[in-house]
Chain A
Amino acid sequence: MARERILKGIAVSEGIAQGSAFIYESKRIDVFKATVLSLYLEDESERFEKAINKTRQDLINIQRHLNQGIGANFAEFLDAQIMMLNDRTIVEEVKKRIREDKVNAEYAYHEVMNDYANKLAESHDSYLKERVADIWDITSRTLGNLMGLTHSSILDIPDQSIVIAHDISPSEAALINPKKILGIATEGGGRTSHTAITARALEIPAVLGIEGLMGKIENSESVLIDGDRGMLIKNPSGGRVQFYRRAKEKDRQMEKTLSPYCGMPSKTADGKHIDISANIEFFSEYAHVRKYGADGVGLFRTEFLYLTRRGSPTEEEQFRVYHALAERMKPEPIIIRTYDLGGDKVFSDYHEANPFLGWRAIRVCLDDLDFFKMQLRAILRASVNKNVKIMFPMIATYEEIKRINLIFERTKKEMRAKNVKFDDEIQTGIMVETPSAAILAEELATQVDFFSIGSNDLTQYTLAVDRGNEKISRMFDHFHPAVLQLIKRIIDSGHKANIWVGLCGELAADPLAIPILVGMGIDELSMNPASIPRAKMVLRSIAVSTCEELAAAAIGFRTALEVKRYMRRMMHEKFPSIEKVTSS
């Protein structure tokens, strides 16, 4: 029996998958140079034209196979690839080289494409740099066709496989079929790669960025992918398989219990409506928002737009994404949060000792107004259907919000002067996630239309605990009475100023926390799409009056443990029908 071995990587798409490994290798193509006799030069050119035509057909086939759910994201870059392929100047250049240098088509084509790739790689523009990947994608496809290699396509992978690859090219990632592929593990790639986005959109468990993966796994070997913890387990032991099988069975049972709740209204047992909305990061996730029955998007993170292209996206590119999401979601509202980026992500040579207390999010935006206003304009333009709201992260002071409002008004004025359409009544809100904003909530509430409590950061900042630090992460607990008291203060302050207050941290999805938040009067809970059915089940089983009692008691304890013990006991006493979900 082969020994079990655990390989660690980046968890990019949750879930567990077990099966046999299929090593998917896009063959490295070695280009050779050969001299072609004058007599055959015409044939060589013709062979080249045929290969180009074949590649074009391949790409058109890919477009046809495109996955419905992710189509919109991929159609555009496939169009770009086809256009590059159709470029007559390139075709003529290659044919000229074949003719004049008397060389084979493979060599001539590779040389020409290499020149273009190098020129684009030198550019300072991130959009152009990114096209280099497209050039290599079509080049290797065409070279494969020239050499008569059967292009190993992701479509040909046997059913029920776990794909093990060095990397998956964008045009292949577009073809991943969730019915055939159980899980994905790659050596390259990260959270924002095409593969990650695809896996998440299709709900395929995936772990990327596993160092030295390719040398460690063999074809048909038994592997298990844990997309929650970012692990690939080679030759999992009987005990391990049992453990995961049980976990999966439990998940399946739970899903069965919960799925009817997707379509039910988000109301308490005594009829109070509380919005349950979704936190999303990628446009393609809109499908999950619908599937799980969210009342809208409570948090649309925009960092990925920046990170996937390693640079600032243009106003137009941003607008297209925001507008597409608003269109898909209307009339449900979407809340777009402006960049929550660390300074180190924006400027490659910038580092700091304390990023969490440093130059990040709104602080970066307020120091680079062109950058900030470009995002504001894109969001405003996407608001024409009147279902877009805008939210600013990491507010710590009153001056910040005053300044943001001034910039926002100025931006709107400039757009009006140019006759650009937008929603004049667009709501603006802030994330309340620093203790100072929580304490000053009453004053801040007079400046905005809504609050959204970022409970994860609020907990980190209030308890002074970096949850990423293993030595102290157990001290991170959003049930801490200090955190709960601040949350109550924020909700009360918002309501005093007649604005609505939501919460978009992990606390929003915690079955033990929902009664406390409802008791405090929260108006909206925003969470991972997959957590929505469970939250609805909890919400629909509890009554506001009881929740108010629980909330009042919960904030009176001295420790997080006392709060949780109390809540468990109370849930057992008051709401036994949902114990199955609150006790796990």
Chain B
Amino acid sequence: MIKETIRILNENGLHALPASRFVKRAEKFNCDISLTKDGIEVSGKSIMGILTLACEKGSKVVLKCDGKDEDDALTELRKILEGQD
């Protein structure tokens, strides 16, 4: 299991488009993925869960990946959160 604290740098926070892009990407990986903000943990493969975190630009989240391709998952998903994708 690997995890990393990431600051959301995406211009519009993690709403709408980035959130759905995140989920679509997350679903492709063969590992468990979760996002934690303010002590609340949700599945990285759940659009509704991510929306309820209400991650604005600048907020900090912990991205956790656990499974076969956890390294690739972390690298790719970090990019979306940081708005570089």
A binds B: yes
**A128 adjacent to B51 (CB under 8 Å):** yes
Contacts of A116 in B (CB 8 A): 48, 52
**A125 adjacent to B15 (CB under 8 Å):** yes
Does B11 reach chain A (CB closer than 8 Å)? yes
Does A38 reach chain B (CB closer than 8 Å)? no
**A89 and B47 alpha carbons, distance in the complex (Å):** 9
Does B36 reach chain A (CB closer than 8 Å)? no
Does A84 reach chain B (CB closer than 8 Å)? yes
**A314 adjacent to B12 (CB under 8 Å):** yes
Does A87 reach chain B (CB closer than 8 Å)? yes
**B15 adjacent to A84 (CB under 8 Å):** no
**B20 adjacent to A89 (CB under 8 Å):** no
**B20 adjacent to A131 (CB under 8 Å):** no
Contacts of B48 in A (CB 8 A): 84, 87, 89-90, 116
Contacts of B54 in A (CB 8 A): 123-125, 128
**A90 and B46 alpha carbons, distance in the complex (Å):** 8
Interface hub of A83, A89, A123 (most chain B Cβ within 10 A): A89
Q: What's the count of A-B pairs with C-beta under 8 Å?
A: 51
Which B residues between 29 and 47 are near A, CB-CB below 8 angstroms? 42-43, 45-47
Q: CB-nearest residue of chain B relative to A316? A: B12
Q: CB-nearest residue of chain B relative to A127? A: B15
Does A80 reach chain B (CB closer than 8 Å)? yes
**B47 adjacent to A316 (CB under 8 Å):** no
The size bracket of the interface on B is: 10 to 19
Given A123-B54, A125-B56, A128-B51: A89 and B15 within 8 A (CB)?
no
Q: How many residues of A contact B (CB 8 A)?
A: 22
Contact of B49 among A83, A89, A317 (CB under 8 A): A89
Q: In angstroms, how far is the closest chain A Cβ from the Cβ of B9?
A: 14
**B11 adjacent to A87 (CB under 8 Å):** no
**A315 adjacent to B11 (CB under 8 Å):** yes
Given A80-B20, A127-B16, A316-B11: A87 and B47 within 8 A (CB)?
yes
**A131 and B11 alpha carbons, distance in the complex (Å):** 20
Contact of A83 among B23, B52, B56 (CB under 8 A): B23
Interface hub of B45, B47, B49, B51 (most chain A Cβ within 10 A): B51
Does A119 reach chain B (CB closer than 8 Å)? yes
Given A125-B56, A128-B51, A131-B51: A88 and B45 within 8 A (CB)?
yes
**B46 adjacent to A88 (CB under 8 Å):** yes
**B11 adjacent to A314 (CB under 8 Å):** yes
Which A residues between 305 and 325 are near B, CB-CB below 8 angstroms? 314-317
Contacts of A83 in B (CB 8 A): 20, 23, 47
**A123 and B51 alpha carbons, distance in the complex (Å):** 10
Q: In angstroms, how far is the closest chain A Cβ from the Cβ of B59?
A: 12
Q: In angstroms, how far is the closest chain B Cβ from the Cβ of A395?
A: 30
Interface hub of A87, A88, A124 (most chain B Cβ within 10 A): A87
**A316 and B57 alpha carbons, distance in the complex (Å):** 13
Q: In angstroms, how far is the closest chain A Cβ from the Cβ of B71?
A: 23
**A79 and B16 alpha carbons, distance in the complex (Å):** 11
**B51 adjacent to A120 (CB under 8 Å):** yes
Given A125-B54, A125-B56: A89 and B43 within 8 A (CB)?
yes
**A127 and B14 alpha carbons, distance in the complex (Å):** 11
**A120 and B45 alpha carbons, distance in the complex (Å):** 18
- Some 12 contacts from A to B, beta carbons below 8 A apart, are A83-B23, A84-B47, A89-B49, A119-B52, A120-B52, A125-B13, A127-B15, A128-B51, A314-B11, A314-B15, A315-B12, A316-B17
What 18 new A-B contacts, CB under 8 Å, besides A83-B20, A89-B49, A124-B54? A87-B46, A87-B48, A87-B49, A88-B45, A88-B46, A89-B42, A89-B43, A89-B46, A90-B48, A120-B52, A125-B56, A128-B15, A128-B54, A314-B12, A315-B12, A316-B11, A316-B17, A317-B12
The residues of A with any CB-CB pair to B shorter than 8 Å are 79-80, 83-84, 86-90, 116, 119-120, 123-125, 127-128, 131, 314-317
- Which 3 A/B pairs are nearest by Cβ-Cβ distance? A89-B46, A314-B12, A119-B52
